[in-house]
Amino acid sequence: MQKIVEMCDLKRQTAKIRSEIDASINESIESTAFIKGAKVAEFEKNAAAYIGTKHCISVGNGTDALYIALMMLNLAPGSEVITPSFTFVATAEAILRAGLKPVFVDVSDSSFNIEADAFEAAITPDTKAAIIVHLFGQSAEMDSIMKVAKRHSVDIIEDFCQSFGAAYDVDGKMKKAGSIGKIGCTSFFPSKNLGCFGDGGAIFTDDDTIADNARAFANHGMRVKYTYDSVGVNSRLDAMQAGILNVKMKYVDSYLEARRKAASTYRKMLSEVDGIIVPSEKEGCLHTYNQFTIRVKDGKRDELKAFLEENGIPSMIYYPYPIHQQKAYLESPHRIAGNLCNTEKLCKEVLSLPMHTELEEGIIETITSKIKRFFE
Ligand SMILES: *Cc1c(COP(=O)(O)O)cnc(C)c1O
């Protein structure tokens, strides 16, 4: 059957700001400033102010942001970096690419994120850092996680690729995800909370030295033209993408509000359905719902997904397999801390429903009524 709704509707979102986007792209073409330049500098300034850090260094994508952030920690090869196995692969991939060893920790089955107790239990004398992922738009419990990190001198990198604009109450103050740990990394992949029209990413930090080194590292390790003090990479945000992001930054709060509203409608309409568990919102947390991910009980997830598809409703499984069970990662250095029961269970239960900024109440009503019909 023909799809009656998009999983992520970028067409309608873009249509509303098309003239501004076109003007910005035209400026780039006219100026021929395609690499670096004013649009990139302006975006970095805007983004740092929004997230609440001293520095923003734009890079080629979110995966590079994580890799570069890890390289800035100057860890001994093989040092342990704690991370979830229930996440997009880029997190573990960056750790191994940086010559470090991922330590997989279980996540909570209600927040989908690493929690402080499991994090602390996984720490050994070899543990030097952790990449805490804020999955599906919700920040992990950063207040207690930062206390554990301080106690054990573990550096925290936040992966807020899915949670641009999310916030968490840290010592009585709402702080944006990406500004709480030592370094924050995000992605501007089109479907993220703030997406460009291609690949893009950024690193956020208050640390002047890390910022200076990351900026050089992302540009071939170059500070002065054709002078190299370190071996770097080429990872830059295109000026055209920065221009698009400058336009979209003006609307990002309204985008997040639209996601929160859609989530609240879903929650209301699905509250009586017995066969599923709707996502919980942790206290002291501003959830941004990059995804609205339900858990389907009694092994019915794949059946429900097929039923929705027959009715023109797309859904996605984020993520079908834990990273620690994938061939490439089984064969690479790693450690599993405790057990990963929730991770393995969630991979069999989760189902992400259509979620974007253009989701009206009527279509959510249609989607949820089909879900109710399935369970009748
Ligand atoms: C999207 C994503 C990344 C990687 O971002 P890219 O820009 O696609 O490289 C990393 N971590 C998480 C959790 C993500 O969702």
Q: Mind listing the pLDDT tens digit for each residue in 119-166?
A: 999 999 999 999 999 999 999 999 999 999 999 999 999 999 999 999
pLDDT over 90 percentage in the chain: 97
- Other beta carbons within 10 angstroms of residue 328's beta carbon come to 11
- 244 versus 229: which is more confidently predicted? 244
Could you tell me which of 158, 210, 216 has the C-alpha nearest to residue 187? 158
pLDDT at 42 over 90: yes
Query: Which atom of ligand 1 lies closest to the CA of 87?
Result: 13
Q: pLDDT category, 282, cuts 50, 70, 90?
A: confident
pLDDT at 1 over 90: no
Q: Render pLDDT for 234-250 as a digit per residue (tens, 0 to 9).
A: 999 999 999 999 999 99
The Å distance, Cα 8 to ligand 1 centre, comes to 16
What's the pLDDT at 112? 98
Task: Average the pLDDT over 223-241 and give the result.
Answer: 95
The Å distance, Cα 72 to ligand 1 centre, comes to 19
The Å distance, Cα 175 to ligand 1 centre, comes to 21
Phi, psi of 157, rounded to the nearest 5 degrees: -105, 125
The Å distance, Cα 187 to ligand 1 centre, comes to 6
Task: Average the pLDDT over 274-280 and give the result.
Answer: 95
Ligand 1 binding site (Cβ under 6 Å of any ligand atom)? 61-63, 87-88, 90-91, 133, 159, 161-162, 187, 189, 199, 201
Query: Which atom of ligand 1 lies closest to the CA of 66?
Result: 10
Mutating to test ligand 1, I would choose from 8, 187, 199, 291 the residue with most ligand atoms within 8 A of its C-beta, which is 187
Query: Which atom of ligand 1 lies closest to the CA of 290?
Result: 15
- The protein residue with its alpha carbon nearest to ligand 1, atom 5, reads 62
The Å distance, Cα 324 to ligand 1 centre, comes to 17
The Å distance, Cα 273 to ligand 1 centre, comes to 32
The Å distance, Cα 160 to ligand 1 centre, comes to 8
Collapse the DSSP code of 268 into the 3-class scheme (helix H, G, I; strand E, B; otherwise coil) and give the result. helix
Cβ neighbourhood burial of 112 (10 Å; 0-12, 13-18, 19+): buried
Q: What is the pTM of this model?
A: 0.98
- The C-alpha atoms of residue 278 and residue 127 are separated, in whole angstroms, by 34
The mean of the pLDDT values for the chain is: 97
The Å distance, Cα 372 to ligand 1 centre, comes to 33
Query: Which atom of ligand 1 lies closest to the CA of 201?
Result: 7
Q: Render pLDDT for 183-194 as a digit per residue (tens, 0 to 9).
A: 999 999 999 999
Estimate the crossing angle of helix 18-31 against helix 239-249, to 10 degrees.
Answer: 150
Q: Render pLDDT for 49-105 as a digit per residue (tens, 0 to 9).
A: 999 999 999 999 999 999 999 999 999 999 999 999 999 999 999 999 999 999 999
Geometric angle at alpha carbon 246, from 245 and 248, rounded to 5°: 60
Task: Average the pLDDT over 285-293 and give the result.
Answer: 97
- The C-alpha atoms of residue 349 and residue 299 are separated, in whole angstroms, by 7
Q: pLDDT category, 360, cuts 50, 70, 90?
A: very high
Query: Which atom of ligand 1 lies closest to the CA of 134?
Result: 13
Query: Which atom of ligand 1 lies closest to the CA of 63?
Result: 9
